[in-house]
Amino acid sequence: MDRRDVPQAVITRLPRYYRYLGELLEEGVERISSNELSERMKVTSSQIRQDLNHFGGFGQQGYGYHVPTLYAEIARLLGLDRVHNMIVIGAGNLGRALAGYANFEKRGFNITALFDKNPELVGKKNVRDIETYAMEDIEEYMDTHEVEIAVLAIPKTGAPEVAKRLCDKGIKAIWNFSHTDLDVPKGVVVENVHLSESLMKLSYAMEEA
Amino acid sequence: MDRRDVPQAVITRLPRYYRYLGELLEEGVERISSNELSERMKVTSSQIRQDLNHFGGFGQQGYGYHVPTLYAEIARLLGLDRVHNMIVIGAGNLGRALAGYANFEKRGFNITALFDKNPELVGKKNVRDIETYAMEDIEEYMDTHEVEIAVLAIPKTGAPEVAKRLCDKGIKAIWNFSHTDLDVPKGVVVENVHLSESLMKLSYAMEEA
């Protein structure tokens, strides 16, 4: 199965399929029909059939989907079949929360370092066994370690400059929690998590409800 | 301007307009043309004109938009013209990070309490002057305080039960950081922030890039 053949709309639904298939695996479920999956996920079974028809690993009519095969196929498409090294810029509460999620590591997102401007945090292992470095050391660290993803968990004022430094050093992707849009060279992936905009969406929906 | 007349696609772009208009206000800018705004926001000026034509407060051709009026109008639509009381369930790193954002309060999201099952945190002010209560005290707290929004920052295993308790007590909205889909009665707003799914989207885009 080639990723280019999968429509974008299906792709955006993949992480949710991946989550439900993972839960089924944990429960020891080997096969599931689209009807059963439909009930769990609260989407129509025809949507599920259409979506999952893009992937290998489903049995014939009446046999349902083979959970481990489908799970592995989706993992591969999402790039979860290999390890991504990740650094976290900002060792405040949010940076520490993100660095502390064992679940990311389980998915192959390996957090190797934290960076912070607070000298009291530098040189210490503030989260699990992950060392915190000074902000000035980003370049040296990237010269000597393989880093693909940087998590930006600093206030918006400092974010553009740090993003530029990361890009200059060849970062491949930035997971941006800083509340500003980043200007990056073509080819660098940015995924924004603008928390206050999510909260505004919630607030808007409350006005509707 | 009535919210029902505004298309959903425009609504989802509002928080971003709100952010840019807020930055203009901070810079003391009173008026801006759609061309200038377009350059800043990196969307076409015709998109901006179409979107903002849904709101009052824009001048005639050649005069540009009146920033404070447009800002206020969008704030009103997003429900930011009034205060929402909010509690945070889970006083771990993520809960504390969310409770600590002064920016939410600036937008009228007033965090009044944290709840946690860890007795070492209970009874203390772990973030600013916000007290942490025991999980058992959620009902009593909601009986005696006005609470509209609950932030769910606990592991997924406990989330469904806590969500049910919140809904039974009449919560209006749940901002859900627990990595599971919540089953809530009609009328209760849920806004999910599934961080690991966001990370998978980033990882997928890296494979594409």
Could you say which DSSP state residue B197 is in? H
pLDDT of A164: 98
C-alpha dist (Å) from residue B143 to B138, B151, B169: 9, 18, 8
Instruction: Pick the closest to residue A39 from A29, A27, A28, A48 (CA basis).
Output: A48
- Specify whether A95 is located in the same domain as A153: yes
- Specify whether B48 is located in the same domain as B114: no
Running along chain A, 209 residues long, what does each successive block of 10 average in pLDDT? Answer: 74 92 92 92 90 70 82 90 96 92 88 96 89 97 97 95 98 96 96 94 88
Local structure of A182: helix, strand or coil:
coil
Q: Mutate which of B6, B156, B198, B200 to disrupt the A interface (most A C-beta within 10 Å)? A: B200
Inter-chain touch B202–A175, beta carbons under 8 Å: yes
By the 8 A CB rule, do A70 and A52 touch? yes
Q: How far is CA A169 from the centre of its chain?
A: 21
Residues in chain A: 209
pLDDT of A99: 93
Q: From CA A153, how far away is CA A130, in angstroms rounded?
A: 16
User: Which tokens go with B188?
Assistant: 């209760």
Inter-chain touch A97–B101, beta carbons under 8 Å: no
Q: Is B128 left (phi over 0), alpha (psi -120 to 50) or beta?
A: left
Q: Which residue of A has its CA nearest to B192?
A: A198
Instruction: Pick the closest to residue A151 from A204, A112, A207 (CA basis).
Output: A112
Of B52, B77, B102, which residue is a domain's last?
B77
Inter-chain touch A19–B148, beta carbons under 8 Å: no
C-alpha dist (Å) from residue B193 to A194, A195, A202, B41: 10, 8, 11, 24
Q: From CA B209, how far away is CA B204, in angstroms rounded?
A: 9
**Least confident piece of the model among A181-190, B4-13, B81-90:** B4-13
Q: From CA A70, how far away is CA A75, in angstroms rounded?
A: 8
C-alpha dist (Å) from residue B115 to A94, B89, B165: 18, 5, 13
**Least confident piece of the model among A186-195, B18-27, B54-63:** B54-63
- Specify whether A17 is located in the same domain as A55: yes
C-alpha dist (Å) from residue B4 to B41, B51, B70, B134: 26, 14, 18, 41
- Specify whether B185 is located in the same domain as B115: yes
- Specify whether A132 is located in the same domain as A38: no
Q: Of all residues in chain B, what percent carry a pLDDT higher than 70?
A: 95
Mark which residues 94-133 of B lie under 8 Å from A by CB.
94, 96-98, 100-101, 103-104, 107, 109
pLDDT of A6: 80
Question: Residue B3: which pLDDT band, with cuts at 50, 70 and 90?
Answer: low
Instruction: Tell me if A109 is assigned to some domain.
Output: yes
Mean pLDDT score, B16-31: 93
Question: Residue B202: which pLDDT band, with cuts at 50, 70 and 90?
Answer: very high
Of B25, B52, B77, which residue is a domain's last?
B77
Q: Residue A137 is part of which domain span?
A: 84-197
Q: Mutate which of B203, B206, B207, B208 to disrupt the A interface (most A C-beta within 10 Å)? A: B203
More confidently predicted of B40 and A59: B40
Residue B60 pLDDT > 80: no
Residue A36 sits in a domain whose CATH number is: 1.10.10.10
Total-model pTM? 0.90
In degrees rounded to 5, what are phi and psi of residue A5?
-85, -5
**Is B202 within 8 Å of chain A by CB?**
yes
